[in-house]
Amino acid sequence: MGECALSNLYSFKEIPAERREYLSLIAEIMDIRKRSDVPLAYVHTYGCQQNVADSEKIKGMLHMAGFDFTETPEDADFILFNTCAIREHAEDRVFGNVGALKNIKRRHPSVTIALCGCMMEQQAVADRIYKSYPFVSLVFGTHSIGKFPQLLYNVLVDGKRIFDRNSDDNTIYEDIPVLRDKTFKGWLPIMYGCDNFCSYCIVPHVRGRERSRDSQAVIDEARSMIEAGYKEITLLGQNVNSYGKGLDEDITFAELLRRIDSIEGDYILRFMTSHPKDCSRELIDTIATSKHISKHLHLPFQSGSSKILKAMNRRYTREQYLNIIRYAKERIPDVSLTSDIIVGFPGETYEDFCETLSLIKEVEFTSLFTFIYSRRPGTPAATMPDVATDAEKGEWFTELLKTQERIAADRCKSMVGSTERVLVEEINEKTGLLSSRTSGNIIVEAPGDPSLIGTFQTAKITEARNWILRGEFI
């Protein structure tokens, strides 16, 4: 195993000689081209935690190639946007921000500009970048991360533009160094891709088929993070509940959780995202009886209407969803439930939407991620007829937010006077208070010394402010 000196730098396997070679060649070139004492990279990540985890791999490689990191694109020798394709709005933002890089390239012609991630797996997007953004030198998709050193080296050496989309490559690379953004909480991907093909979703089209990491690789990485002082580990996958499918060994996600949970140490274990169709009682029992797993279940239901769920190809009904929730509440007292919801799916009527409203009232979620449906070319829903107008969808969305605000506020109020174990994460620059999270993923703000960041504290809850709690560390 190739563990490294920095506590947030990790690689499961030795970095292969070829990759090292490319990285040191990049280092040699950048040593001449750099504009500061060290070559600087600006890496900006859009979208979900899977993208954040991918960026941490790319940063690991850049670190090995001698780069330091800057938050200011103007200062950078290498600029990378890791992009998201989940909704049209996300793509528009990327196009806008890429357009703005033109001026930086004009001022500093030696800067190399690269784009990667889900958007780049779409031919139409890659074509548009090729034609309209000539200052972008390197484009690669989610499947090409393993080739990044070679691709960057080639761009630097011969100055030609490279567009590499390698959608057939489903290899899981265990031999890429990971440079984590934080030293006390970190992402740990356990699987890649998605086989569910929800009819609205672009992810299976851009991230490819579902594939699980070997359990030993996951467990070793978790252990190494705990030994390095990580206090929170979040296991990542588009559908963690189907972990293990296709592996030689016979292992479920619940079993993987139990094996990680048995590692000694003071840490909290989270995971996302669960799919209700695969959310087993075994998983809920595992959470209920575990030592380290957070009492939190993020279980996206998307719509409260069984008719819409069918059109979404979600493969569960409203009743089946509510049955899992009932079981979770029974087995895990005070379980914190969160979810994703789409408003305005094609064919959704106000009556369907009311079923979503009634479901959130019944479940009483801690918080929700709410989205207005966005048409994704190439997905089955993109050609389904719509019945509601954009204005109506906007009104429903506002109604949903207002309803959830009341639910979250009531839940937070009921916690005043209780004590909670929290992990202190950062300082809120606006309030000057320390921001921490409960096991149920609720934010608690409290006065305290910044040296507490990265430690567990006990907080007495003194006040509820909508969906955020205020308290004192005791």
Least distance from C-beta 136 to ligand SF4, angstroms? 27
SS3 state at 191:
strand
Q: Which of 51, 238, 435, 457 binds ligand SF4 (CB under 6 A)?
A: 238
Instruction: Return the beta strands (E) in 128-237 as ranges.
Output: 138-140, 162-164, 178-179, 185-189, 191-192, 211-212, 232-236
Which phi and psi angles does 2 have, rounded to 5°?
A: -100, 75
Distance CA 76, CA 73 (A): 5
Quick one: how many helices (H) and strands (E) in the chain?
13, 21
Binding window for ligand SF4 (CB under 6 A); candidates: 110-118, 192-200, 331-339, 368-376: 192-200
Beta bridge pairs of residue 446: 434
238 binds ligand 5AD (CB under 6 A): no
376 binds ligand 5AD (CB under 6 A): yes
Residue with Cβ nearer ligand SF4 (184 or 200): 200
70 binds ligand SF4 (CB under 6 A): no
Beta bridge pairs of residue 463: 470
Distance CA 457, CA 454 (A): 10
Per-residue x/- track, 195-234, ligand 5AD (CB under 6 A): -----xx---------------------------------
Across the beta sheet with 78-83, the strand order is 68-69, 40-45, 78-83, 112-117, 138-140, 162-164
Q: Which does 374 bind (CB under 5 to 8 A by kind): ligand SF4, ligand 5AD, none?
A: ligand 5AD
Q: Which does 342 bind (CB under 5 to 8 A by kind): ligand 5AD, ligand SF4, none?
A: ligand 5AD
The footprint of ligand SF4 on residues 203-222 (CB under 6 A) is 203-204
The one-letter code for the residue type at 411 is: R
Residue with Cβ nearer ligand 5AD (67 or 200): 200
b (16+ CB within 10 A) / e for 413-423: eebeeeebebb
Nearest one of 111, 110, 119 to 82, comparing CA atoms: 119
Least distance from C-beta 344 to ligand 5AD, angstroms? 8
Least distance from C-beta 392 to ligand 5AD, angstroms? 16
Distance CA 462, CA 474 (A): 12
Binding window for ligand SF4 (CB under 6 A); candidates: 119-127, 136-144, 198-206, 456-464: 198-206
The footprint of ligand 5AD on residues 326-355 (CB under 6 A) is 340, 342
Least distance from C-beta 344 to ligand SF4, angstroms? 16
373 binds ligand 5AD (CB under 6 A): yes
Distance CA 288, CA 331 (A): 6
Residue with Cβ nearer ligand 5AD (206 or 283): 206
ω into residue 273 within 30 of 0, thus cis? yes
Q: Which does 196 bind (CB under 5 to 8 A by kind): ligand 5AD, ligand SF4, none?
A: ligand SF4
Residue 36 per-residue DSSP state? S
Q: Which of 57, 87, 147, 296 binds ligand 5AD (CB under 6 A)?
A: 87
Residues in touch with ligand 5AD (CB under 6 A):
86-87, 200-201, 300, 302, 340, 342, 371, 373-374, 376
**Interface residue list for ligand SF4 (CB under 6 A):** 194, 196-198, 201, 203-204, 238-239, 275
